[in-house]
Each structure stands twice: as structure tokens, then as C-alpha cells.
Structure 1
Amino acid sequence: MPRLFFQRLALSAAVISSLCTGAAAAPCGSTSAGYDAWKQAFSREAAAAGVGQRGLSALSGARYASRTIAADRNQKSFKYSLQKFMQVRGANTIVAQGRKRKARDAGFYAALEKRYGVPAGVVIAIHGMETAFGHFMGDSNVVSAITTLAYDCRRSDFFTPHALAALQLVDRGVISSGSVGAKHGELGHTQFLPGNVLSYGVDGNGDGRLDLTNQADALTSTANFLASKGWKPGKGYQQGQPNFAVIKQWNAAGVYQKAIAIMAERIDR
């Protein structure tokens, strides 16, 4: 039976977020020059929020992630037309491979849908889009990437709770100071941000631990995320249908949302 992890920690995320909006919050910056000073101030915030020694040590060892900043400033693909976006992201390949995966692991996906109400095509489309079905889950240090984004003024308010969540994950052994993920600190097969790991992470293979680089854990967590955001079992998920609003919770880019819905429908046929 899948186990939901960190339910009490999910509650602490709201507390963490409130701590980060106070007058004593570490000052953001737009270049690497202030990052080390920011880390010192952020370390005090993290300790006050309950982060332990392992998490604080990971923060101390973090480095300013220049590649993360470059990627954050240069997200051109989300400006493409839907047709161009799907071509660039390999939609036909994702659909073809997704159908094979659904047929091969029919029992697993049927169990997911029975438990969470989310059709196989949606979970599979997300898996294919995010990491090409686990073939590339990132090459950036998670703690460095997420703390760099928390420091950077562009979206500091959004990423600060995720940075604190990453340090909590280090504390609890879910990730380490050396764990790698995507350039924005996302983890595993479907690229969960650290705060979402705390809130929606599920031990999908029943081994007693949460590991988003394990496919069963990642896909079960993805279905749990969508269900928790209000997925309505049996209802449609294309534009204008009830569950499209839930797909929008997965990614803020309109072209990405539409692509997921279209590919999922093709996989589920």
C-alpha cells in the first residue's frame, strides 16, 4: 500500500513561507556577488524554521549556480506556438512510447487510476515530457540550484520555501548535499520541486522510503499531486473540461498544459 510521506512536514511549509516574508528575510540579489552573504542570513532563517545540522551543512556547501540563472533567463520554448512546442519536445515519440508503457504496465497504471482517479495517459505524458521517461533527470546540484533561485530577486518569494524544503529533505535523508536534479532544483522522474516532495511525496513501491528517482514513487507521487489539486475522476481534461484546471497546477506555461492534455488523450485512446 503506497504511503504518503511528510504530512506534518507539509504543514510546516506554510510556517516556513511566513518566516521568509518577514523583515529579517535574507536580502535577494541579481548577481553572484551577494550570494555568500545571503547564505549566512538564510542559514539563520533555516535554523529558526527547524532545519538541522545536515541541512545547514548542505547550505554551507552550496555554490552559486550560474547555469541555473542562465536557464531561468532563457526559457524560449514556452514562447513557441503549440505546434512548434510539441515538435521540439518530441510529442509523437512520447505518445508512441507512452502507449507501449501503458500496455506493458497496465496493472500499475490501472491501480493508480483506481486509487487517485487520474488516467494513465496524463501521468505518462507528464513522465515523458519532464524527463523522457527517466532518461535525463538533470545534472545540477539540487541544493545549489534551488538556493540560487531563492537568492535571485526574480522569483525569490516563490523559491524560498522550496529551498527550505530541500534542506529539510537533506535532514531526513531523502536527498543528500550532492543530489542532482534539473536546473531549477526539480527532482526525479517527473521533476518535483522540493516543497512538493514534502507535500505530495508517496512511497509507491512500498519499500518504506521516498525516492523520486524510483519510477513507482515518482509516478504515484504525480498522481497524488493531481488528485490533491482537485482531479475529478471520470471527467475530461482537455481545454474547457473540468480537469484541465488541475493540469494547469502542474506547470504555469499554457503551451505546456495544452501539450500534456493532447498527448495524454492520444496515449489513452
Structure 2
Amino acid sequence: MLRFALLFALFLPALASAAPCGNTSSGFETWKKDFAKQAKRAGVKKKGLQALAQSQYATRTIAADRNQKSFKYSLDKFMRVRGADTIVAQGRKRKARDPQFYAALERQYGVPAGVLIAIHGMETGFGNFMGDSQVVSAITTLAYDCRRSEFFIPHAIGALKLVDQGSITTATKGAKHGELGHTQFLPGNAMQYGVDASGDGQVDFYNMTDALASTANFLRKKGWKPGRGYQQGQPNFAVIQQWNAASVYQQSIAIMAARIDG
């Protein structure tokens, strides 16, 4: 939760009169009408509000949210299940194939190639599967759902603002919890840390250059110290912890990154 403290504070004025949450689909349409007022106060414009109106209750998202078993595995099992050896092997090839790209990111943000490559591999298999759920519907469903409503409301507002600025549409697909792009940014974080590294005037998380630069920017803004270690007990491990709250995930990223950086 630490990595979302600032994000939550930024959206706090919009939460003062939050719409009531619900645990079934029956109240979703009513909630959307109330939430539209809240979103408008937070700065969401016409396109974003239209996207909210068109969003649908995402039953698969709720099912996934209730069934996150892999984060309860031991570290060894988690790494096997998530294909750590394959990520490392492919990651080394990717680094060797385009060393200048990763070196440029490290010069600008201080984050080593291995860390960015490990996250990219872990999140989407290097962009091979970036999700099959509509981002806006998924994230608004989680904002409505009572289990973690306060956590997801800033990200729902972020998603609607991404629609306003043209970074995503109502049809954009991501993970079942609304994460989007190559490294699976939650929408509020995408709004805050997104970088147009490709220089085309648009922050596109489905463009690898923008996505990896944005990931590096996130880590740097969260306190990454260039040239310092990132294994457990070292200064930058605390920054990896802010990318994902699951300890097995954090440890896996650090281990794979070190193997990739070799």
C-alpha cells in the first residue's frame, strides 16, 4: 500500500463524498451515476465520463480478485510457476539484442536493464499477453466493489483521465485488475508516471519504449538510488517493494534481474 499513499492523497478531495460501494452487480448502474459526479469533481472530462457510462460490471475481474493463489506460494514454487528460468534466458537475449536502449534508460533513470527486463517478462511475457479484460470496466468494477473500493477509486479516476487524454479507449484491454500495457501499470500510476519516450506526443503503454521508460520513471520517483544494490537488505529493494506488494514477487524480480544483468 505504500506505493499508493501519494496517489491516494492526490485524489483525496474527490473521495470526500464517495458513492456507496456494493458486492453484487445489482447496484453498479446506480453507483456509476453517483461516481460520475465524483469523477467530474476530480477533473474527468466528457470522454472519460462517457467511458464510465459505457462501462460494464466485470464478473471475471471479481472472480480473479477473490482467487489470487499464486502470491501464497513459496518463492521456489512461485518462480517455477511464473517461468523464471525462461524469463531470464529470454531477458538476456533481449538485453544483448538492444544494449543501447537499456543503457540509455539506465543513464536517464538509474535503473539497471535487468530490473526493467525482469518486470517486463514477469508482467506480460515481454508483451506477448497484455490482458483480455476491458480496462475501464475492470477498474470501475473494483472501485465499486466493497472489498478494496478506496484503493481502486483513484485508479478508476486515473483510467477515465487516460481516456480523456487519448492514451486508452473504452475498448482498451489489460489485466483483470485493470492493469495496462507492457508492464501492467494501474491507471492512476500510469497517469502520474507515464513518459512519452518515443517522442510521438502520446504516452502509450502498449508501446514498449514508453512502457519501459515509464516503469523506470516510476522506480526512480519512488526513490531508486543509481548504482546501489537491489537485493533484499540493499537500498533499492524497498523500491521494488513499491512496484508490487507480494513478497514472492519482489524477491523473484530481484533474483531474476541479477541473473539477467549477470
- TM-score, length of structure 2 as denominator length: 0.96
Aligned residue-pair number: 257
Post-superposition Cα deviations, 1:67-101, rounded to whole Å, max 9, x if no partner, equal 00000100000000000000000000000000000
Deviation at 1:16, TM superposition (A): 2.6
Percentage of pairs with the same residue: 71
CA contact (8 A) 1:13 1:165 kept: no
Q: Closer, same or farther in 2 for the Cα pair 1:234/1:166, shift >3 Å?
A: same
CA contact (8 A) 1:200 1:224 kept: yes
- TM-score, length of structure 1 as denominator length: 0.93
> Is residue 17 of structure 1 aligned with residue 21 of structure 2?
no
CA distance, structure 1, for counterparts of residue 198 and residue 41 of structure 2: 34
> Is residue 254 of structure 1 aligned with residue 247 of structure 2?
yes
Q: Closer, same or farther in 2 for the Cα pair 1:15/1:112, shift >3 Å?
A: closer
Structure 1 unpaired stretches of 5+: 1-10
CA distance, structure 2, for counterparts of residue 243 and residue 15 of structure 1: 25
CA contact (8 A) 1:210 1:217 kept: yes
CA distance, structure 1, for counterparts of residue 62 and residue 8 of structure 2: 24
Moved beyond 6 Å, runs of 4+: none
SS in 2 for 1:233: coil
RCO comparison, higher one (Cα < 8 Å, 6+): 1
Post-superposition Cα deviations, 1:32-68, rounded to whole Å, max 9, x if no partner, equal 1111111010011111222111111100010000000
Structure 2 unpaired stretches of 5+: 1-5
> Is residue 48 of structure 1 aligned with residue 24 of structure 2?
no
SS in 2 for 1:202: coil
Which AA in structure 1 matches 2:70?
S
2:203 matched residue in structure 1: 210
2:3 matched residue in structure 1: none
Q: Closer, same or farther in 2 for the Cα pair 1:225/1:12, shift >3 Å?
A: closer
Post-superposition Cα deviations, 1:94-136, rounded to whole Å, max 9, x if no partner, equal 0000000000010000011111110000000000000000000
1:266 matched residue in structure 2: 259
Out of 116, 121, 125, the residue aligned to residue 118 of structure 2 is 125
Out of 71, 74, 82, the residue aligned to residue 64 of structure 2 is 71
CA distance, structure 1, for counterparts of residue 220 and residue 41 of structure 2: 32
CA contact (8 A) 2:155 2:188 kept: yes
Deviation at 1:149, TM superposition (A): 0.3
